Amino acid sequence: MKQRCIQCGKIFYPTNENFLGYPQGSYFEHKQEYKVFHSRSCMDRFLVKHEDVLIPIFKQIKESEDINNARTRENQAERKQATSP
């Protein structure tokens, strides 16, 4: 599937079987439609260029994850107390 890099406009052809296109990750499968940059340097330039918008989003995601993790720990503690004599 033909993709156009959202940073520089270069056309590239990512596939699920190779490492062409970014973002990449080895611990989970990146589908080719999620690869929107042709190179790591283009991805880095895009992130730096838009950091004023992205940083608050990343912080909000982190805060939300922290809240969800705290709720999960509380629920596990409550279940543990309910099952213990």
Predicted confidence (pLDDT) per residue in 37-62, tens digit? 999 999 999 999 999 999 999 999 99
Q: Residues, the chain, total?
A: 85
For residue 23, cis peptide bond before it (omega within 30 degrees of 0): yes
Q: Return the higher-pLDDT residue of 81 and 33.
A: 81
* Rounded-to-5 percentages of helix, strand, coil across the chain: 55, 5, 40
Domain limits for position 27 = 3-83
Strands (E), the chain: 3-4, 11-12
Residue 23 has pLDDT above 80, yes or no: yes
Q: Give how many domains the chain has, as a whole number.
A: 1
Q: How confident is the model at residue 80, as a pLDDT?
A: 79
Task: Say how far apart CA 69 and CA 72 lie, in whole Å.
Answer: 5
Residue 29 binned pLDDT confidence (cut-offs 50, 70, 90): low
